[in-house]
Structure 1
Amino acid sequence: MEASHLLSVGAELGEGPVWIGDALWFVDIKRLHLYRHRPESGTTDRWDAPEMVGWVLPSHRGDMIVGLQSGPHRFAPDTGSFTRIATIDADLPDNRLNDAAVDARGSIFFGTMDNEETRPNGCVYLLDHGAVRKTVLDATIITNGPAVAPDCSHLFHVDTLARTITRHAIAGDGTLGPGDPFLAFSGDEGHPDGAICDSEGGVWIGFYGGWAARRYAPDGTMTDEVRFPVANVTKVALGGPDGRTAYATTARQGLDAAALEAQSLAGDVFTFPVAVAAAPLVPANS
């Protein structure tokens, strides 16, 4: 299958797509932009964040929770204001928040990483009812995902530079168990980037430098591959009226002048249909 072009934004590092209500939300991490696109009307809104912004998720309070570089914040779209919930990695000023997922209980798992992509300073945290705690996952240079199974049984953690994904059991209090190998990739496929789970527990992964997004069944078998006209596919979201429309963010980051000329749509948003619908999105409990 080939992805179709949806929206021109030319993001330096498009990431964090998520379908909320009738709109696709996503971010441009490096340009500090937060976007909302309504496909039905074709309208797009943009807000400027005060720091690099990795993700956006809905809150049960009716506002949003976003992952800014220094920690999770509340975001009010009507005023454009940001209010800090917690400070993360204050002793690591080069770290930033990178990716996140909300589970069926409303808890948010989110990862951090070294913005220079050289030091193993990235960890996975849990935000639950306003409190943040670090999980037991090993330190990583670039954390991605995490993706959470729709029944909250497992979390999938992506180690982008190691090109591996591990599966961790989730206890009732959100504690993560040891990692079991789930997938490992060669250099030919690119680097596994953002990951999500659909309603059947399948895992969709964007491949940075891989020109593709792929879906894997819970047993690790690849079931779908979607090709893109751009190399850096960062993450997929499932949404639309029936939950069976996929949206994918991409990035211009790391492309030289020749690559940018050849990939004129790099950094834009793409779409394609899927057979398995999205898992229900639960507002965060914080």
Structure 2
Amino acid sequence: MNTPATQHPCCVWDIRAQLGEGPVWSTREQALYFVDIVGQAIHRLDPASGAKASWQAPARPGFVVPVSDGTLVCGLKDGLYRLDPRTGAFERMLAIEPEHPGNRINDGCVDSRGRLWFGTMDDGEGTPSGALYSVTRQAHGLDLLRHDEGYVVTNGPGISPDGTRLYHNHSPAGVIYVFDLAADGSLSNRRVFARVEDGYPDGVVVDSAGTLWVGVWNGGRIERFRPDGTRLEPIAMPAQNVTKVAFGGADLRTLYVTTARKNTPDDVLARYPQAGSLFSLRVDVPGQVPHAFPARASDAQPG
């Protein structure tokens, strides 16, 4: 269980992004989206055809998630934006933390009830001004809730298959937290789930068996933890900064991995010249079926 079918990552887009992040699989399109935060770009790969597309964002993007109507929600530096990939037009949906101009949105995901979860962080990575939020689509518009705070750099969140746990990282501290997640979207009982040494825990994703997959910044690997916290064998990657994974393909058994070139010494880049690129490998246990953010309140699942 939870053993990769192959531990030889293949480069599927030699893009060499400064800060590749946030891979997410679109079931509707059978395509993968991801961002380059420093390059201020959103990228799309169609694995079947090999077609690639990119959009320049008006500000640094932290994440991108599919919407049920075929558009995208992007977490940019100062808020949530709608991107229509057909036109490349961005439209701001909701301002986030105008009182903290030094912050930016980082990682995000959508749960099975259509709630969007994301974190904010200090763009200078020195002040604990970041927080954890959720956004729900209501008939009157978008409801924003602040659930936790005191983060320098947030990463995750990730949701367990049964929807009762939410995982979230305080990356500089090397800590992965887990919360109890209620059906109404409230969080409680934050506790330490695991700690990562020799690097920092970056993005987290949970597969269909409940195993947590964690990119390790400055660690050159993916860490994996069972739901009880047991650490599994890590997977080495050809990049020092491994940011996040996503499960894709028709069977959700193709693991896509984003990486970064940012802050990588020249001697390490000489060993890993494709650092910052998008990689893939096959795994035995599939990921969870990805969820789209609802375009209308009627598309959301009841809480």
Q: TM-score range by the shorter chain?
A: over 0.9
In structure 1, distance between residues paired with 2:58 and 2:43: 14
Question: Residue 104 of structure 2 aligns to which amino acid in structure 1?
Answer: R
- Post-superposition Cα deviations, 1:178-237, rounded to whole Å, max 9, x if no partner, equal 212210122x2x111000111121111000011101221111112342111211000000
Q: Secondary structure at the match of 1:85?
A: strand
| Residue in 1 that maps onto 2:178 | 167
The aligned runs of 1:189-268 (5 Å cut-off) are 190-268=199-277
In structure 1, distance between residues paired with 2:265 and 2:193: 33
* CA-CA distance at 1:269 after TM superposition: 0.8
* Aligned equivalent of 1:138, options 132, 149, 169: 149
In structure 1, distance between residues paired with 2:146 and 2:78: 18
| Residue in 2 that maps onto 1:14 | 20
In structure 2, distance between residues paired with 1:48 and 1:168: 35
In structure 2, distance between residues paired with 1:147 and 1:58: 16
* Consecutive aligned runs of 4 or more in structure 1 exceeding 6 Å deviation: none
Q: Is 1:90 aligned with 2:98?
A: yes
Q: Is 1:54 aligned with 2:65?
A: no
- Post-superposition Cα deviations, 1:134-157, rounded to whole Å, max 9, x if no partner, equal 333231000000101122101001
TM-score by length of 1: 0.96
- Kept in 1, the 8 Å contact 2:240–2:268? The answer is no
In structure 1, distance between residues paired with 2:128 and 2:9: 34
Q: Is 1:274 aligned with 2:283?
A: yes
In structure 2, distance between residues paired with 1:180 and 1:138: 14
Q: Is 1:115 aligned with 2:123?
A: yes
- Shifted more, 248-257 versus 26-35: the winner is 248-257
- Kept in 2, the 8 Å contact 1:7–1:268? The answer is yes
| Residue in 1 that maps onto 2:191 | 180
Aligned length: 284
Q: Secondary structure at the match of 2:147?
A: coil
- Kept in 1, the 8 Å contact 2:129–2:149? The answer is no
In structure 2, distance between residues paired with 1:79 and 1:180: 44
- Post-superposition Cα deviations, 1:229-271, rounded to whole Å, max 9, x if no partner, equal 2110000000112100100000011113333233211100111
Question: Residue 104 of structure 1 aligns to which amino acid in structure 2?
Answer: S
In structure 2, distance between residues paired with 1:216 and 1:256: 29
- Kept in 2, the 8 Å contact 1:191–1:210? The answer is yes
* Aligned equivalent of 2:51, options 32, 43, 46: 43
TM-score by length of 2: 0.90
In structure 2, distance between residues paired with 1:283 and 1:228: 29
In structure 2, distance between residues paired with 1:132 and 1:35: 28
- Kept in 1, the 8 Å contact 2:257–2:278? The answer is yes
RMSD: 1.3
In structure 1, distance between residues paired with 2:210 and 2:142: 27
In structure 1, distance between residues paired with 2:17 and 2:189: 36
| Residue in 1 that maps onto 2:167 | 156
- Kept in 2, the 8 Å contact 1:135–1:175? The answer is no
Q: Is 1:31 aligned with 2:42?
A: no
- Kept in 1, the 8 Å contact 2:178–2:191? The answer is yes
In structure 1, distance between residues paired with 2:41 and 2:189: 35
* CA-CA distance at 1:41 after TM superposition: 1.1
Identity of aligned residues (%): 38
In structure 1, distance between residues paired with 2:56 and 2:144: 28
- Kept in 2, the 8 Å contact 1:123–1:134? The answer is no
- Kept in 2, the 8 Å contact 1:3–1:226? The answer is no
- Shifted more, 174-183 versus 131-140: the winner is 131-140
Question: Residue 42 of structure 1 aligns to which amino acid in structure 2?
Answer: G
